[in-house]
Structure 1
């Protein structure tokens, strides 16, 4: 069986389990449980595999090591190694397989809720004082095993949890295959599936893969390795991880997310994709108000983002002394933080880096402070490299058309700006518009080669942009107007005459019927 076939089976199996077991629970709530338990199983299996490698020279097995006469010394040695290698530690009795076995034992001792809660706490506590503490702290806080959403009684809650653990225990995650990322991709698939049904909330934690692909390919143009990638509104981390698929190697991943639940999901997603805890730094705070103290002085080679569209922010005058905004002379308006995110990202961008972010179309033409910032970016800094218009209705929870801005501090094509209008290039799938691989390839290829295509793309000089008063509305540069075929007036007149003739004949026929019936004609 191919890797792709294995992946499809795993994706569908996990999604079926999620649907079968959540019952009447809201999908958003069940998401946190099912993804959390998959993550717990992943950590358990990684722990067991690593411990068995350590114990192999002694002919021991981790599953039974707690019964060994020197169990205390052995476990302490394994814990020391695991904290550095994995970032956490689990005893054999705390492994997922052990709790699933106990819960499914069929006797009165199968109540595992309390033990499960203790294990999840133990995973977090095992990292206390170690380098991985920030990466594992409060990671399971959204798995509330006391919640009435799981059941009205303790027995009902336990029964549901046991069912979930039992079903998951029966799935082979194939973690022995170190070259495979089947589980990580399946986990990402589940996040996407939950997002597709989450409505407006989905935008808080997930960027559709079709858009992620475009952003990732734009910022990795002419790159095979990246020192770093950063997302200031990273959600579940899908964009960061997508960038890693486009190059051979990414040194470090950085992200910031304001929602605590989504922040936890992002850290889990990183670990599930086998990104070592020393290689990622995700921070939980509002990026504009409280940027990570570990990030703010760094400069990143690639930046990708899908910030919340036209979000509110304070726009406090105090920000005018902030290095991120002070050069511009004006702040983004309170009701539209779009350019505030752009300014933040530019501040974090390395001199040889590329950033690509998704924004609402309003940033292209709105005036006042936004018009001032836009002019400054083009006229004073000359950072704007390309403007790409996307189709409407491709994001979960909103049908508005969006655009991608690509910015660089050192542009190869410093005398012009590329405009791409891909708004009409999509495929309708149910109620959603979808960018297929061919559409994505056309966008990226047009950007990379700066191709001019009639009614699709145009390379505008900076003088042309200046003549348009720095208004970047795409139709000003890409003419998509379709001329209608010329009307043949003679043919139209002839058709009208024929129509009059036909109507007259019809009237005569109706009048004949009326005479036969002895009734008055209707005209």
Structure 2
């Protein structure tokens, strides 16, 4: 009940912050998402700091105002308190507290004070919360948010409205909640900013059903001290589900994504989901051209990889830079031809599949969203990749999903599962395309899977069960015989049902067929005569 109540209150806070942005002319502005997400994060960090220091100092928990009580500490006492905090928690100076801002609203240039405090928090916690670009530059936690208000005379009022909204609510009672709560909040927080209309490098949000299925099939037994990677991480839905399935304290996250907006969202997602220790591994950059994560001169390999890569993208400007001796093994199947027009329709996802195959550790597992056409293509890069997966015995299976599982694209998708330890075969091919219920999602149709259908997919796959018209379990040799097709439907048995009947029943059926034919023939002759009769009546006038 507490979680339900706080979910509603948190969503109300988000809506109110968006209302303030609208009032000050920033509704649907390109910078609105920065203001909303960063203000939300500041509030979250402030309350989390209060929660953590109360665990360390019981007298702070008993005080009417922990901020007032902590203001009595000497500088040395306060420094010792900060040193006792967990390394993944944000450290705040006393002037950073939200209560301090609230009490200084009568100060001149309040907007500057607001910006200075956020910037100082970012600098004070730079080693923990900064993400890096591919060149090593650090992207700090907070921007100067008031500068997004073009009318400088309104900046103070804007910041005061934000602060007054934040003090009406506290997160403290929900810090013991786990993934499901914070994933819901995160989705609501970014729902207006993670659309597919964002231009060349638009972010696509992976549906929860797909994310859950991928994570639950990949993590089918307890593991610890493992590495998890997404080379096209977006806002991190796949990584969060994977980390939750493993245990946030039993894995380390690595990622790369070309989008600065997605990288900022992923950082927020990590903070909300108790994965702050992995923020240093979040990279904004071009994974295909300049993969960041390396051990020495060699690319790092990972225990678990998840990816919903962009399917089509114009990468013609740098495809020649990929075709090098150093990349020969990474891109063993080659590169697509550059079309003379419609370059944005270049299929980039086969490059991500090859990169993922190259990035798996010796016992690594991967789950990749691919267009369903990939699993049966009979030529080109796609066919070469499937042949390599079979030859190197690293295919675990495929799940073909229902159409419109992504509301934003009409492309049918499948999930490709890899496992470098699956040398004996026993490959599961599943056709889940008939599952789900179609609903209206704005202007689009969307297919939703029920909890029972999700579990059916997960349990059937993990148990390696063969079910009629749903799953088959095949060997590498059988896949070779089918010309490397990964489509379950091509392996289903065609069944002809036979019904035993007696000679008398056979005689009765045949007599019935003959009588029916006689009647049809008689009717046909009558029609022929009528047609002839009508034709004879026709005259030229």
The TM-score range, normalised by the shorter chain, is: 0.7 to 0.9
1:442–1:158 distance in 2 versus 1, CA, 3 Å: farther
- Tell me, what secondary structure is at the counterpart of 2:453? helix
1:342 and 2:353 are equivalent in the alignment:
yes
The correspondence of residues 391-430 of structure 1 with structure 2, limited to 5 A, is 391-411=402-422, 414-430=424-440
Q: Cα gap change, 1:312/1:327 in structure 2, threshold over 3 Å: closer, same or farther? A: closer
What's the CA shift for 1:404?
0.6
CA distance in 2, matches of 1:177, 1:372: 49
CA contact (8 A) 2:11 2:185 kept: no
> Within 5 Å, which residues of 2 pair with 1:20-419?
20-23=19-22, 25-26=27-28, 29-52=31-54, 63-64=67-68, 68=72, 71-81=74-84, 85-86=87-88, 88-103=90-105, 109=107, 112-128=110-126, 130=127, 134=131, 137-140=138-141, 144-148=145-149, 153-175=151-173, 177-178=175-176, 180=178, 184-191=182-189, 193-194=191-192, 199=197, 204=203, 206-225=205-224, 227-248=226-247, 249-277=249-277, 281-294=281-294, 297-313=299-315, 314-316=318-320, 318-322=322-326, 325-326=329-330, 328=332, 330-331=334-335, 335-366=346-377, 367-379=379-391, 381-411=392-422, 414-419=424-429
* 2:341 match: none
Distance 1:203 1:87 in 2: 32
Between 1:414-423 and 1:184-193, the stretch displaced more is 184-193
> Aligned-pair distance for 1:244?
2.5
Matches of 1:312 and 1:478, distance apart in 2:
38
Aligned residues: 481
Q: Decide whether the 8 Å contact of 1:219 with 1:304 is kept in 2.
A: no
The CA distance in 2 between the partners of 1:220 and 1:114, in whole Å, is 48
Shift of residue 65 of structure 1? 6.7
Q: Could you give the per-residue CA deviations for residues 418-474 of structure 1, whole angstroms, max 9, x where no partner exists?
A: 211112211112132222222211211221122222222222333332233224345
Pairwise CA distance, 1:200: 6.3
* Residues 351 and 410, structure 1, Cα contact 8 Å, conserved in 2: yes
Q: 1:197 to 1:166 in 2, by over 3 A?
A: farther
What is the CA–CA distance in structure 1 between the aligned matches of 2:409 and 2:54, rounded to whole Å?
49
Q: CA deviation at 1:217?
A: 0.7
Equivalent runs, 1:439-478 vs 2, <5 Å: 439-478=453-492
| Residues 213-262 of structure 1: CA deviation (Å, up to 9, x unaligned) | 11111110123546222111111122111112223453211111211121
Q: Is the 8 A contact 1:252 1:280 kept in 2?
A: no
Is the Cα contact below 8 Å between 1:417 and 1:460 reproduced in 2?
yes
Confirm or deny: 8 A CA contact 1:419 1:478 kept in the other structure.
Answer: no
Change (3 A) 1:361 1:180: closer
TM-score by length of 2: 0.77
- Which digits, 9 at most, give the CA deviation of each residue in 1:350-386, with x for residues without a partner? 222211010112322332233223212212x121111
Q: Is the 8 A contact 1:299 1:348 kept in 2?
A: yes
Flag structure 1 segments of 5+ consecutive residues without an equivalent. 502-523
Deviations 1:491-519 (A, max 9, x none): 9x98xx8xx99xxxxxxxxxxxxxxxxxx
CA contact under 8 A between 1:455 and 1:480: conserved in structure 2? no
Counterparts in 2 of 1:212 and 1:351: CA distance versus 1, 3 Å: same
Counterpart residue number, 1:514: none
C-alpha deviation, 1:394, in angstroms: 2.1
Any stretches of 5+ residues in structure 2 without a counterpart?
339-345, 498-512, 528-541
* Aligned counterparts of 1:221 and 1:54: Cα–Cα separation in 2: 37
**Alpha-carbon shift at residue 48 of structure 1 (Å):** 3.0
Native 8 Å contact 1:36 1:143 kept in 2: no
Whether the aligned pair in 2 keeps the contact of 1:55 and 1:62 (CA below 8 Å) is no
**Counterparts of 2:494 and 2:31, CA distance in 1:** 45
Q: Distance in 1 between matches of 2:89 and 2:337?
A: 42
* Distance in 1 of aligned mates of 2:52 and 2:111: 27
RMSD, aligned α-carbons: 3.8
Q: Any idea what SS the aligned residue of 2:206 has?
A: coil
Deviation at 1:52, TM superposition (A): 4.8
| Cα drift, residue 304 of structure 1 | 1.0
